[in-house]
Chains A and B, each alone.
Chain A
Amino acid sequence: MEVLGIWIAAFLTLCIFSFLYRDNPFYRFAEHLFIGLSVGYSIVVTIHQGFIPLAWEPLSEGVNALQSELTSEGTPETKEALSGLFKIIPIGIGLLFFARLSPRHTWLIRYPIAILIGFTAGAAIPNVLQASIFEQTYGTLTPFAAMHAGSLSTGDIVGAILITIGLICTLVYFFFSVEHQGPVGWLSKVGIAFLMIGFGAAFGNTVMGRVALLIHRVGFLINDWLGSIF
């Protein structure tokens, strides 16, 4: 079974690599098989790691507790499990997603979507403001406090000043209410230069990442597959 697995994996790996020659039926077969399998696996995992523990189990425990409560065998534990019954409301709302299957009732999926979207937006506003705006601005200013205290090396002072200049100029580049002429134009030019260095850094690191993916696959083919033959 294990050897068979390695051979199948190697075959499918080669099917996908065959795309490098050109688009072909082997590649298309593997790609579609992959889409099917991965959606299937997501369904399985979402049911077993999502629906069942979060919705089904608390609910069924609640129902059992209700039964024993009605037959007056209630213990403190069953009282607690009874709270699982309240979950019937969010479960009901979640089930509205099935309205997607009926064109006439599709609008019902707006209810759960509205809740999820409102939740996300509400969580985002204060936390993003704190984490990404307040603290990023704070981090730009703290080196200057250290500079005042005289505890910063020359290299760090240059760094802090460059970061501040770069940040201000990048902000100017993404400022749309003023034409970029004169001093604003100059600042935005410096800003674009900083942006390009940033993108260049991302570019270089991305190359490392992509190469890593290939090395990993070639490692599999050579060590695990060919290694199992020779």
Chain B
Amino acid sequence: MSKTTQCLIIYLVLCLSIGTAFSQGLAPPSNVAAVDTPNDDGSSITIKWDAAPEDSGISGYQILRRIAGSGLEEVGGMLPAGSTTYVDSTIEKGSAYVYIVRAVTETEATVESEETAPVKGTGEWFHMGKIPLFFGMILFSAAILWNLYDARSGKEIFVRRIPGLEAVDEALGRATEMGRSILYVLGLGQVDNVATIASMTILGQVARRTADYETPLLVPCNDPIVLNVVREMVKSSYLDEGRPDAYNEENIFFLTDSQFAYAAGVDGIMIREKPAAIFLQGTFYAESLIMAETGNSIGAIQIAGTDSEHQLPFFIAACDYTLIGEELYAATAYLSKDPMFLGSLKGQDWGKLVIFAAIVLGVILELSGVNWITTLLQRVR
């Protein structure tokens, strides 16, 4: 082959390839911009460009970058045809980068955009997308603190009627009438458990009434520390009512610390003593329904209360009254008059009110096509 022929072939091939590129009207990616990625630690730069028209024949993009004064290098792999952004998280902090977006066709023809202005990655001290969250947090904290302060300064805080609590008198009355005892089960919680504390507060109130009525009060415990606290508590209730003589320490006793054996032990007490009223208040696990079932079978009036969500259905189905979750805390706040409980309860109610308002307002706004509230609540990466 002569040199001329070779030149001709090379020339033809070149023409052809350039020709294909031009015949498809391959335009360089437009409006290419590189910016420091917002709300990050400064380890990335975001590159954006306009989407090419659908018939452009572009099959993908490549990102090229260079630190001022050095050569071009490719970053990342081939990006799919539809993409319009790329986050380069392989940058070196403090260096300024210049980017080029290169469009690639199926025939491997390429066309490059203009260079962007140099850009550095910088870290932000505050995540701007989290402003609503930040204010939400501050406002809720303020609501809690305000109400705590209010409660501490002796302001009366109203707590609504709680049906399960009102049934206590009914249950005690019945036990007294029948001349039977009352059984109080505190569950398997430890002494620092919120529900156990709540349960002990309710027990304190129950003990005051039993002191008055001279009804025997049985409290089988499964935790030695709880046992000691409960003994002290019941004793002081009897003292407050002026009936220290009616207090019988042996009625508050340690049964066992293992789950099912405890339930079996309580069952035995129920069947032997046939208490007229049974209180199941505190933290319960799977043993809940064993006790509730036996209590039901001896015909006792049963008042349950727990924040163990999984046991609530069984209590509701098998007991006469049930304090559901937060109701137990509200009952404690109401009975103990502890400003900390009362104040938080009120503060949380304010929180619910705000959520309530956000939902009602949000529904109206969304239906009229205004997205203010959802924009506020949406998570920003």
Contact = CB atoms under 8 A, between A and B. Distances in A.
Interface of A: 19, 22-23, 27-28, 31-32, 35, 125-126, 129-130, 133-135, 137-138, 140-142, 144-145, 147-148, 164, 167-168, 171-172, 174-180, 195-196, 199-200, 202-203, 206
Given A129-B133, A141-B373, A145-B371, A171 B366 contact: no
Contact of A180 (B130, B161, B265, B362): B161
A183 B175 CA distance: 36
B330 A176 contact: yes
A206 B310 contact: yes
Interface of B: 130, 132-133, 136-137, 140, 157-161, 258, 260-261, 264-265, 309-310, 312-314, 316-317, 324-327, 330, 345-346, 349, 352-353, 355-356, 358-360, 362-363, 366-369, 371, 373-374, 377-379
A35 B369 contact: no
Contact of B258 (A32, A147, A148, A180): A32
Given A125-B137, A134-B133, A199 B352 contact: no
B363 A129 contact: no
B324 A195 contact: yes
Contacts of B137: 125-126, 129
A35 B261 CA distance: 13
A27 B132 CA distance: 56
B324 A134 contact: no
A174 B367 CA distance: 27
Nearest to B360: A168
A104 B312 CA distance: 41
A174 B352 contact: yes
A202 B313 contact: yes
Contacts of B330: 176
A196 B316 contact: yes
Contacts of A167: 359
Contacts of A168: 356, 359-360
B366 A148 contact: yes
A180 B310 CA distance: 26
B355 A202 contact: no
Contacts of B317: 203
A50 B118 CA distance: 47
Contact of A31 (B261, B309, B363): B261
B264 A199 contact: no
A147 B76 CA distance: 40
A137 B379 CA distance: 12
B377 A28 contact: no
B198 to A, nearest CB: 14
Given A137-B358, A202-B310, A203-B313, A177 B349 contact: yes
Nearest to B330: A176
Contacts of A172: 356
Contacts of A133: 136, 355
Contact of B313 (A32, A134, A200): A200
Given A19-B264, A180-B161, 18 more contacts: A19-B260, A23-B264, A28-B261, A126-B133, A130-B379, A133-B136, A133-B355, A137-B359, A137-B377, A145-B371, A147-B367, A167-B359, A168-B360, A177-B159, A177-B160, A178-B160, A179-B160, A196-B316
A174 B258 contact: no
Contacts of A171: 352, 355-356
A141 B374 contact: yes
